Structure 1
């Protein structure tokens, strides 16, 4: 089975630096095949015998901590889960018009609707959100850099770790993974 792994807070702002070539080599040493990376921000594709994503996350997290000495949170999804995230996007017009300002945030755990509502109430700017079981969509019409809808705020309200990718990266990961689009996006 092929998986998509997103690392949280890797190679951002000079912190928790992990070279992607070394990450690929680590994956191969763990027995995974077809290991590939996209960009320098912790986007990984790999193949493994069918296993629970939580067990794969724990295995990768332990290996990265032991090998590179940095804490790493992995959010792993199957290809069907990734395609479902793409297909369920409620902000398709925004994705087409300005994909850099639309984030898909993978969550470590399921998020209750009540937590999404408290997050929505905490938004003070023009940002809009929508959620699935283990992911959140966030549209930043005025840009992400100065927005008050930060990862820290999102995590505090949802009660779980998250890592975001802009819509261009979401689609590039799908393309790189070999998943077949099921509708125009």
Structure 2
């Protein structure tokens, strides 16, 4: 269900993807505390998945305003500047359904999607360096990435695709995308 009624407000089910949190000893965000903070700020049915910054919530805000509000809330509560990329439950389902590289993928843990706030420049994607084994596919605001050697091995390991493409994004592996779609339904 993409939209729900709370009182007289019509809300949309969103998936918020926080960038670069809980990857090491710094930039720590407690998921129970984050759920508490967002619920207190009026978001509905707040849930998190894993500790890597996946939040499901209902809001009556449009996407850009919600992204800014979540970034601001995290800054105020955790003293961190964390970009947040937001998709509706329907949009995330469309990302999963599109699956442009699915025929190549033999291990979903080595297949990922980088989510961006704005559409990517196709010319910049086309001009990105080629890395042996890496296969890229662009879809509006998502970059699908198949690395058969994994994210820690091979020539494309450690490439900061957001820097190559000139826009900050946040990456999720295919298993996580699939689970988020299920949870958001």
**Which TM-score applies when normalising by structure 2?**
0.89
Aligned partner of 1:98 among 86, 94, 107:
107
Q: Where does residue 117 of structure 1 map in the other structure?
A: 126
SS at match of 1:2: strand
Runs (4+) of structure 1 exceeding 2 A deviation are 146-153
Q: Which residue number in structure 1 is paired with residue 166 of structure 2?
A: 159
Unmatched 5+ stretches in structure 2:
1-11
Partner residue of 1:18?
Answer: 29
Deviations 1:3-54 (A, max 9, x none): 00000001012221001001101110110010000000000100011x3211
In the alignment, what sits opposite 2:70? 60
Q: Find 2:58's aligned residue among 24, 42, 47.
A: 47
Give the aligned CA root-mean-square deviation in angstroms: 1.5
Q: Which 10-residue stretch deviates more, 144-153 or 6-15?
A: 144-153
* Gap regions ≥5 residues in structure 1: 179-185
Give the secondary-structure state (helix, strand or coil) at the position aligned to 1:63.
Answer: helix
Larger strand fraction of residues: 2
Preserved CA contact (<8 Å) 2:19 2:84: yes
Please say if residues 71 and 82 of structure 2, whose CA atoms lie closer than 8 Å, have aligned partners that are also in contact: yes
Partner residue, 1:181: none
**Given that residues 151 and 158 in structure 2 are in contact (C-alpha distance below 8 angstroms), is that contact kept between their aligned partners in structure 1?**
no
Number of aligned positions between the proteins? 174
Q: Against the structure 1 CA distance between its residues 28 and 151, is the aligned structure 2 distance closer, same or farther, given a 3 Å change threshold? A: farther
Contact 1:7 / 1:74 at 8 angstroms: preserved in 2? yes
Tell me the secondary structure at the aligned position of residue 92 of structure 1: coil
Q: 2:91 aligns with which of 58, 81, 91?
A: 81
**Which residue of the partner structure matches residue 7 of structure 1?**
18
- What's the offset of the Cα at 1:58? 0.4
Indicate the SS of the match to 1:18.
Answer: coil
The range that moved more, 2-11 or 141-150, is 141-150
